[in-house]
Amino acid sequence: MIRKLPFLLSLLIIFTAANYFNEAIEGTWIGTYAERGGSVELTFNFTVDGDSLTGTLQNNDETMEISNGVIDGDSFTFDAVFGPISIPHEGVLNEDGTITITITQDEVVHEMKLVKQEVE
């Protein structure tokens, strides 16, 4: 039994860390996407179920579904889907509690920082 203890403790630490990141990602996040001629505020509503990520992405006029989301430690990927358009996103939960999102579209890379909105 004593030989199994380090292994069991390692498993506990791994599962606890994974659960922390998953819970930290869930919720409403706000970011600003810079584009030609201005910027657009985006709202990400993330829902986490195990290592799966779903939700919505909203701007002033449109709502996109978040699909194919997968969480792997402090990083995650998902597609924002609007009709026939699917835009891949990569995210990282930073040590300061923010998220950095990277969007690659037509070989152009965009980055934005998201800040979590506190529940009122």
pLDDT above 90 for 54? yes
119 DSSP 8-state letter: P
| Confidence at 8, pLDDT banded by 50, 70, 90 | very low
**Mean pLDDT score of the chain, rounded to an integer?**
83
pTM of the predicted structure, to 2 decimals: 0.79
What is the DSSP secondary-structure string of 34-62?
EETTEEEEEEEEEEEETTEEEEEEE-SS-
How far are the Cα atoms of 20, 33, 94 from residue 97, in angstroms, in the given order?
A: 12, 19, 5
Please name each of the domains of the chain with its CATH number.
Answer: 4-116 (2.40.128.20)
pLDDT above 90 for 115? yes
- Identify the weakest region by mean pLDDT among 35-39, 80-84, 98-102: 35-39
Asked whether the beta carbons of 50 and 65 are under 8 A apart, the reply is no
One-letter amino acid for residue 80 of the chain: A
Q: What tokens does 35 get?
A: 């584009």
